[in-house]
Homo-oligomer: A and B are copies of this chain.
Amino acid sequence: MKDFNVRDQVARAAVELFAEKGYATTSVQEVVERAGVTKGAMYHYYRSKDDLLFGIYERMLTLQREHLDEIIARGLPTAEALRMACIDVIETSIDSLQEGTVFFRSVHMLSPERQREVTRRRREYNDAFATLVRNGQREGLYRDDIPIAVLVANFFSDIHYLSNWYKPGGTESQTEVAEQITDLFLKGIAAT
């Protein structure tokens, strides 16, 4: 039994380095060195550098989609479901801060087809989230004097921005921050 798995080690090293210094300025050589393997080993498991990058998107998209679907499937009241979805996605994003850095910074480095797939899946997530808000509007919970796209963007921007300022190990736990941001968002969109 081997004490480490080449695939995972490479993926881990890739995330770290792409987050630290960017996809384009990180060479495959650097990745394999940090992973403690050789280029040959890496290219045995991945077909290209692009695969390394796309893997990050794949994992993030799948993970967040699953979480959201699971929460929606519970059939909770809209307000509870939305609150839960917000807190969960923030916490998840904090768990994957490095992935988030790469995610939002390097889409344009993917191959065109993969860019389109990422866009498509993000839109799906966006739509599912927007539906929650829309339901809340119908129930009179949230204001409808502002386009729903703006409301949703207002929340997604926080997710996006997290990796730019949140430092783990600070005075605030991720749960605290998640609740604070969610609270700010919900206060903003609450019906007057």
Contact = CB atoms under 8 A, between A and B. Distances in A.
Interface of A: 21-25, 105, 108-109, 146-147, 149-151, 153-154, 156-158, 160-161, 164-166, 172, 177, 180-181, 183-185, 187-190
A150 B21 contact: no
A188 B184 contact: yes
Contact of A160 (B22, B25, B160, B185): B160
B150 A177 contact: yes
A134 B45 CA distance: 53
Among A23, A164, A184, find the residue whose CB has the most chain B CB atoms closer than 10 A: A184
Given A184-B151, A187-B187, A187-B188, A161 B172 contact: no
Nearest to A171: B147
27 contacts: A22-B108, A22-B109, A23-B24, A24-B24, A24-B109, A25-B108, A25-B109, A147-B180, A150-B180, A150-B184, A151-B184, A153-B158, A153-B161, A153-B164, A153-B165, A153-B166, A154-B184, A156-B161, A156-B165, A157-B157, A160-B160, A160-B164, A161-B161, A183-B188, A185-B188, A187-B187, A187-B188
A21 B161 contact: no
A182 to B, nearest CB: 10
A111 B153 CA distance: 32
